[in-house]
Structure formats: C-alpha cells, structure tokens
Amino acid sequence: MLFDYSGTLFRLEEDETWFAGMELDTEDNREVDGHVQAELMRRLTAPTGRSVSMTPEALEAWLNRDLAPHLHREAYLHVLRESGLARHHAESLYGRVIDPACWTPYPDTATVLAGLHRRGIRTAVVSNIAFDVRPAFDAIGATGHVDEFVLSFEVGAVKPDPAIFQTALERVGVPAERALMVGDSDEADGGARALGCGFALVDPLPTRERKDGLIAALRANGIQL
C-alpha cells in the first residue's frame, strides 16, 4: 500500500488564531476574513497547478519546490506575498505549513495504518514535500505502522515521475501489480498507474467531513481491515 500525505492521510487545516491580526497588504488593508483564509489555504495545499503570477525565477522555484527546502520556502512565500500578505505575516503562516504538528490526521488514518500493519501488508508514504512529515505520524502513534517514507526532497523525484513510485516499490519489496496507490490527485498520485500499480482516488475534504474515506477506498479495492 502506497499513500499520499497531504489531503490523503493528513490535511493542513487552519486555526483562526493563525490569522489573528493579519490584514492584506492593500490600499484598504482588507481583513483576512474566512473567505480569504480559505483561499490562502487552498493555495498552500493544492497538489498541482499555480494560483498567482510568477516571475521566471519564482516559477523555477515553484516547479522544483518539493525537491529542496529552500526552494519550497521561496515558492510559498512568493505565493503568500502575491496573495496580499505582508512579509512577516507570510513568514508566520508559512511556518505553520512546514510544522507537522499543525497537520490534522483524517479520522481513519491511524486505524488504517494499524490494520494494514497487523495484516502484514507493507506500507509506504509517498509524498511531494520538502519537510520531514514523520513527526506527524509520531503524534498519532503510527510511525511504527509505516514501513517506508518516500519523500520527494529526500529521494530527488516528484510525483507523477515514475521514479518516486519505483523507489517506494523497491523499498517495500512489492511488485507494481500487487501495489495500490491511494491519493487525492489523479494527476500526481495517479502517476503510479504508469508502473502498473492500482490507484484509488480520495477526496481531500475537511477531516470532519471525511470520516472513513481511506477505509472505503481500501474496501473498494478488496482490502478489508
């Protein structure tokens, strides 16, 4: 079993305190209200595409953001600044993005990982990301239930490049035809199909709205926990 991280096992969900005192850097100093917060979070978590105008340098950082922490920082600070946040507010919000403690697990994440571990089904987290997500799994007692973490900035490949999926398969010792990739992006996570893996798409809904999405995805592919 291969799992994406963001929007699949965990979700970055804002706390209103993150935006306390923030205003958009515009002529009218518009308040960062609920609508603005939602749009900022979308721009910070969308798995593909881009949402603001970019210089050639910013675009280069954006395209390679998941390969190196410094490019990730540069890319997302550009997005936040172009979205209207003052530099110090952008820095503050970006700090939440790269803090695993700020990520919320889906209700069935720990249950699914523990259930697969009990059944002897090897698992890997395969993520386009530029920071270490392992502490998020530590926090829910699930690190020991994940056999491998295959993170783009550590392996030098990003989804949908087959190389990152091949690395995961080799590490768990499973042939592609016996593996299922679960993720929230048909474009990125669905790249595993190029190697012959199965693919299950989940909806990156707020965690309170998706109680058993992982369990349902596995069940639909013949895996009962």
pLDDT digits (tens, 9 = 90+) for 73-105: 999 999 888 888 888 888 999 999 999 999 999
pLDDT of residue 37: 79
| Whether 57 and 159 share a structural domain | no
pLDDT digits (tens, 9 = 90+) for 108-160: 999 999 999 999 999 999 999 999 999 999 999 999 999 999 999 999 999 99
By CB atoms closer than 10 A (0-12, 13-18, 19+), residue 46 is middle
List CB contacts of 91: < 8 A, sequence separation 6 or more.
77
| Whether 153 and 73 share a structural domain | no
- Domain harbouring 154, CATH code: 3.40.50.1000
| Whether 81 and 157 share a structural domain | no
Q: How many whole angstroms separate alpha carbon 159 and alpha carbon 37?
A: 27
Q: Quick one: which H or E segment has residue 164?
A: helix 162-172
| Whether 44 and 143 share a structural domain | no
pLDDT of residue 44: 82
Give the range of the structural domain holding residue 31, as residue numbers without chain letter: 11-101
| Whether 146 and 203 share a structural domain | yes
- The domain boundary, picked from 101, 126, 154, lies at 101
Provide the domain count of the chain.
2
Residue among 101, 152, 110 at smallest CA distance from 131? 152
| Whether 6 and 31 share a structural domain | no
Q: How many whole angstroms separate alpha carbon 179 and alpha carbon 1?
A: 6
- Residue 111 has, within 13 A of its CA and on its CB side, a CA count of 12
| Whether 113 and 204 share a structural domain | yes
- The domain boundary, picked from 101, 135, 159, lies at 101
| Whether 113 and 177 share a structural domain | yes
Q: Quick one: which H or E segment has residue 114?
A: helix 109-118
Q: How many whole angstroms separate alpha carbon 165 and alpha carbon 189?
A: 9
Q: How many CB atoms within 10 Å of residue 130?
A: 24
